[in-house]
A and B are shown apart, each in its own frame.
Chain A
Amino acid sequence: NAGVTQTPKFRILKIGQSMTLQCTQDMNHNYMYWYRQDPGMGLKLIYYSVGAGITDKGEVPNGYNVSRSTTEDFPLRLELAAPSQTSVYFCASRPGTVTNTEAFFGQGTRLTVV
Chain B
Amino acid sequence: DQQVKQNSPSLSVQEGRISILNCDYTNSMFDYFLWYKKYPAEGPTFLISISSIKDKNEDGRFTVFLNKSAKHLSLHIVPSQPGDSAVYFCAASGLTQGGSEKLVFGKGTKLTVNP
Where chain A touches its partner, the secondary structure class is strand
Q: State whether A33 touches B98 (Cβ < 8 A).
A: no
Is residue A12 within 8 Å, beta carbon to beta carbon, of the partner chain? no
Q: A40-B9, A50-B101 are in contact. Are A99 and B107 (CB under 8 A)?
A: no
Inter-subunit contact B102/A48 (CB<8 Å): yes
Tell me the count of chain B residues lying within 8 A, CB to CB, of chain A.
29
A44: B residues at CB distance < 8 A: 105
A30 CB → nearest B CB, Å: 10
B43 touches A107 (CB 8 A): yes
With A99-B32, A105-B45, A108-B43 as contacts: A42 and B102 at CB distance below 8 Å: no
B89 touches A42 (CB 8 A): yes
Which residues of chain A have a CB within 8 Å of any CB of chain B? Answer: 4, 31, 33, 35, 40-45, 48, 50, 56, 58, 90, 92, 94, 96, 99-100, 102-108
What is B's interface to A at a CB cutoff of 8 Å?
A: 4, 6, 9, 31-32, 34, 36, 41-46, 49, 51, 89, 91, 93, 95, 98, 100-108
A/B interface sample: 23 pairs, CB < 8 A: A4-B43, A31-B100, A35-B105, A42-B89, A42-B107, A42-B108, A43-B44, A45-B102, A45-B104, A48-B102, A48-B103, A56-B100, A58-B102, A92-B43, A99-B31, A100-B31, A100-B32, A100-B49, A103-B34, A104-B46, A106-B43, A107-B42, A107-B43
